[in-house]
Structure 1
Amino acid sequence: MNLRSGARLTSTADGAWRGDFGRALHAEWTKLRTAGDMGSLLLLAVVLTVAVGCGTAKAVKCPDAGCGQDAVKLALTGVTVGQAVIAVLAAAAVSGEYSTGMIRTTLTAVPSRLTVLTAKATVLTTVVLASGTAAVLASLLAGRHILPGNGFTEAHGYPPLSLTDGPTLRAAVGSVLYLALIALLGLGVATAVRETATAIGIVLGLLYLFPVVTQVVNDPQWQHHLQKISPMTAGLAVQATVHLHELPVGPWAGLGVLTAWAAAALLASSLLLHRRDA
């Protein structure tokens, strides 16, 4: 085979892959958009995130200068609750196809299983990034209006929350990325186990049980290690804007830990998807 023929074959293969991916992307978007509970779950994630953030901002007081609170993290507290809904959304987006048998139709239309998984991840990430951005911006806006009434004023060392402030912008962007990574983690786990309740249980266990286990362990060194590998504890370090030296892991490094969890789940799911029957 000469170089020109090889180039034509490569170009044809690339074109075929792009065509398959385009069809898969359109199909996944249609399935997600027309599923009755998907829109409700996204709306619930936004509402819970903002509501919990508002409640926390109203509850915490800063009576004097140097009260030690992280105003940005307080405003974004709702992410710790909204992520549960995102995990449920991600699990339902894939395991529901297995329960109805629609996955066979999907894989018949697009035989490449990696293409199908990539399309699912792309669509899911896009909608979660959009809803996560809305939730985070609304939470910060609410915090900007609520927190000064509880003592978080410039006189106490707390300027109004603003995205022009570098740490605040990093916390906002990081929180949106955090939610997207939770969605990918949920997608990977659900694809691997193929059962909605089991997938939700595994993801929520990873998120919420890790901190509980950390508190039960008495050895400070082991506590530190567990905090550094906990998907939620490490991932949410990106929200911190004060006392960064006290964190078990740096803000972006912590988000990298969650990225590793999501990547491992997706890798395992892609391998199982190739080896198992639909």
Structure 2
Amino acid sequence: MSLLRDPRPMSKADGTGPEGFGLALRAEWTKLRTAEGTGWLLLLAVTLTVAVGCGTAKAVKCPDTRCGQDAVKLALTGVTVGQAVIAVFAVLAVSGEYGTGMIRTTLTAVPNRLTVLIAKATGLTTVVLAFGTVAVLASLLAGRYILPGNGFTEAHGYAPLSLADGPTLRAAAGSVLYLGLIALIGLGVAMAVREAATAIGIALGLLYLFPVVTQVVNDPEWQRHLQRIAPMPAGLAVQATVNPSGMPIGPWAGLGVLAAWAAAAMLVGGLLLQRRDA
């Protein structure tokens, strides 16, 4: 509401300049910080990511040098679960405003809707990247201590997990970016759909439906094609540290596919935000 009382000229506060964007960004940060359940959702995302990673690391054995497992990917398995909470968090961050009618106040204070969208995306991804970093680092740390007890030792060709190792660093950084892109998909879908339950269903469907379809399809060539274009399988290719050249898509190329999905979701959400009434 403080934006409505801004005594400066509207050109400064409507998002047409850096000051307007700064005001919009501060407003979005305040909403994220004070929204009910926000902190708990982010903590749940971190907890699930680390817990599932620990469970997987504890369950998988490497009895000899020919086990062929990807230790880094095992430690980061929890990202496949934590991403669901991140998607829900992103959807609720937007749909909650539409549900309460707060979006009208936002658009009155900052009439430039592109500025509103960019501010929301910036605030949301900053928070998700911060918590994602904690989740990924904690998962790798847990894997570093758990995996050697299951045979992932130097004698079997596995050095302790360390960010000093190039592929491990790429997998860690890529996993954090992956979660940030998932948040943008949730944001874009919520902007387009507005209604929380429907937006959550669409966002989670985009993530988890493709892997199910891939398993149903019997043609190996079609399976490989689906893995190259599906958001989750393509994006998570960035975690591969064992024989990445044998993957359907390369690590960074796969993350690029996910980025394209996020860009498409944001584009559709942004266009609908521009054309529709609040």
TM-score (norm 2): 0.94
Structure 1 length-normalised TM = 0.94
Task: Note the C-alpha offset of 1:24.
Answer: 0.5
Partner of 1:65: 65
Equivalent pairs, count: 268
Unaligned segments of structure 2, at least 5 residues: 1-10
Q: Give 1:221 shift.
A: 1.6
**Would you identify which runs of 4 or more consecutive aligned residues in structure 1 move more than 6 Å?**
11-15
Cα gap change, 1:277/1:12 in structure 2, threshold over 3 Å: closer, same or farther? closer
1:154 maps to amino acid? E
Which position in structure 2 is the counterpart of 1:213? Answer: 213
Q: Which residue of 1 aligns with 2:114?
A: 114
Displacement, 1:217? Answer: 1.1
Identity of aligned residues (%): 81
Q: Which deviations, in whole Å up to 9, do the C-alpha atoms of 1:138-184 show, x marking residues without a partner?
A: 00000000000000000000000000000000000000000000000
- 1:37-67 Cα deviation digits (max 9, x unpaired): 1110110000000000000000000011120
Aligned to 2:193: 193
Counterpart amino acid of 2:203?
V
C-alpha RMSD of matched pairs (Å): 1.5
- 1:13 deviates by 11
Partner residue in 2 for 1:182 = 182
The Cα shift of 1:201 comes to 0.5
* C-alpha distance in 2 between matches for 1:203 and 1:14: 31
Q: Give the direction of change, closer, same or farther, for the CA distance of 1:37–1:12 in structure 2 (3 Å limit).
A: closer
Give the Å deviation of 1:16.
4.6
Alignment of 1:145 onto 2:153: no
More moved, 213-222 vs 75-84: 213-222
Residues in 2 aligned to 1:150 and 1:223: alpha-carbon distance in whole angstroms:
32
AA aligned opposite 1:83: Q
Indicate how the Cα distance of structure 1 residues 102 and 198 shifts in structure 2: closer, same or farther if over 3 A, else same: same
Offset of residue 246 of structure 1: 2.0
Report the equivalent of 2:3: none
CA drift at 1:124? 0.4
User: Would the alpha carbon gap of residues 21 and 51 (structure 1) be closer, same or farther in structure 2, given more than 3 Å must change?
Assistant: same
SS of the residue 2:122 aligns to:
helix
Q: What residue ranges of structure 1 are gaps of 5+ in the alignment?
A: 1-10
Q: CA-to-partner distance for each residue in 1:205-247, whole Å, 9 max, x for gaps?
A: 1111100001111222211111100000000000000021221
Q: Is residue 2:53 matched to residue 1:53?
A: yes
Alignment pair present for 1:158 and 2:142: no
